Chains A and B, each alone.
Chain A
Amino acid sequence: MTATASLALRTKLMPTTTVLRAATAALWRPDGLRQRYLRYLAAMHPLVRASVPLLERAAERCAELDDPAARHLAAYYTRHAEEERDHDTWLLMDLAAAGAGPAAVPHPVVVELAGAQYYRIEHEHPVTLLGYIAVLEGNAPGPRLADRLAEATGLPDGAFRTLREHAELDGGHLDDLHRVLDELAPPPDRQTAVSVSALHTANLLTRLFLSLAADPGGHP
């Protein structure tokens, strides 16, 4: 029996869970957490700022392809862009509530994360964006993370809207992505392209978390 496209993707990503859990344990360790959380917010803002433009560009590229599956995918990307619109402003509000501001320049690994997707959309296939979304929404903030960070950092509740909203929303978004992936049932080479995009994202996300967990200013 051949696995569905979503089961195949989830199986390939399953071994990455241990590594990402260890990286987030380092990221959210108690010592120095207040400053580290501010660095995290500043790093995540340019990443989230890229989400809607990536979805919109992927939808445009789908429209250039003459096949029904691409039209179905474009509809998903367009719908998801509306769900994600303006979420980058939540991060700016969180930073302001914490008495901080956005980073002067994006973290290099954030550029690699989003930049790789622009390449894949333009030069590979827009379906590969599904792998990126699956990893980011599949490693969303846990349901109690915001409460724990608020308690440990002493920052006001207004500094945690992004974590709370994503903890609430991303489980449903991930279910939707898996459903779309199964409806598309991409051929094997496209499924590989999606999972390579996903594993590349998981690798870079681990690097980002470990970089933020390290001393200020440290990049891998």
Chain B
Amino acid sequence: MTEHTTPYDDTSSGDTPSEPTLEALTAAGFDLDALSEEQYEVLRALAPEELALLVDIRGRLDAAAPEVQAHADVAGGALF
């Protein structure tokens, strides 16, 4: 899924950032509120591969119940 690396038809809220990468993230459904300027700078500079992976990950939310999230205390389960 690499087609979301360019700006979308904008169906998101009016305060969508103007930069293409941030627009693509917002259009994919990511909530980018409450980021610091330093963090915005990081996301603005995402490589196409990074953006494509983020959009792909977000698409998997549809397979879960997106409205249900485990509380941090009882979430997780990854092991290294």
Interface residues of A (CB under 8 A from B): 1-3, 7-8, 11-12, 14-16, 18-28, 40, 44, 47-48, 51, 84, 87, 91, 132-133, 135-145, 148, 162-163, 166-167, 170, 173, 192, 195-196, 199-200, 202-203, 205-207, 209-210, 213
Residues of A within 8 A of B30 (CB): 15, 18
In the complex, the answer to whether A196 meets B49 with C-beta atoms within 8 Å is yes
Summed over the interface, the residue pairs from A and B with CB atoms below 8 Å come to a total of: 148
Chain B interface residue number, banded: 35 or more
- Say yes or no: A23-B60 contact (C-beta < 8 A), given A3-B42, A48-B80, A139-B78: yes
CA separation between A91 and B79, bound complex, in Å? Answer: 10
- In the complex, 16 of the A-B residue pairs with CB atoms within 8 angstroms, ordered by the A residue number, are A3-B39, A7-B42, A12-B54, A15-B32, A15-B54, A19-B64, A22-B68, A22-B70, A23-B60, A24-B77, A26-B65, A137-B78, A139-B77, A141-B78, A192-B50, A195-B50
Residues of A within 8 A of B60 (CB): 19, 23, 203, 206-207, 210
Determine chain A's interface SS by DSSP, over half rule. helix
Residues of A within 8 A of B65 (CB): 22, 25-26
Residues of B within 8 A of A133 (CB): 80
Residues of A within 8 A of B58 (CB): 15, 19
Residues of A within 8 A of B42 (CB): 3, 7-8, 11-12
